[in-house]
Structure 1
């Protein structure tokens, strides 16, 4: 089942955010999501395996490199094969909330979420933060 209003509010109430899937390509949704957090004055860290910075923000190589993973909500804009590994890492790191953008999930991902007790932590199957985020922030 896609994320509930309560899950989305909890996600956006986080003190810190990370975006997996942002790149130097401004036309990509990952970069658009990163810019959305910056425009809303959120503390955000891009996660990219090769880039040192994106949009003027210092990037980290992996979720494990986040300075405070247990207080960081993570937006995921990756293909399902990469998403699965991210969910595995997030579970180990104790990341409190993840929002999978459209296209980041598939049946295997949904099954993993259900089988690993992550249904209350992962938002998937619905509109992205770019569509719903502003209204949710206003409601906080």
Structure 2
């Protein structure tokens, strides 16, 4: 999994599907984490046009370069599967399913369709710092 996390953080762009304005939700915390590390991130939320003073997009089709974007998913598994299907269509190669967003169906879909999926309890908030270092990305708080 370490190699997948390093590859994930080597991506030139990032997106957080399930980004939220609710500070108690992980969609907010993960999106804020990317911003606090000065990473080029886009929030994805169909109902909220702005989060943390950043414009969001309603789905992955709104991303500038989906094929160059690593995507964090923080949605219920049924939604995660739809996001993964859209990601595959758009050429997204790497996703990170935050704890609770994955299911066996989601993981199998990723495996069957050539999308690298970091999951099984791995969390950007816990594993991200090490991943950034291994990818050689400098950041400042």
TM-score by length of 1: 0.92
Please tell me whether residue 130 in structure 1 is matched to residue 118 in structure 2: no
Please tell me whether residue 105 in structure 1 is matched to residue 75 in structure 2: no
- Alignment partner, residue 63 of structure 1: 60
Unpaired runs of at least 5, structure 1: none
Please tell me whether residue 44 in structure 1 is matched to residue 20 in structure 2: no
Please tell me whether residue 94 in structure 1 is matched to residue 121 in structure 2: no
TM-score by length of 2: 0.91
Question: 1:117 Cα deviation (Å)?
Answer: 3.0
RMSD: 1.0
* Equivalent residue pairs, number: 135
- Write out aligned runs for 1:71-82 (5 A): 71-82=68-79
Q: How far apart, in 2, do the equivalents of 1:116 and 1:24 lie?
A: 32
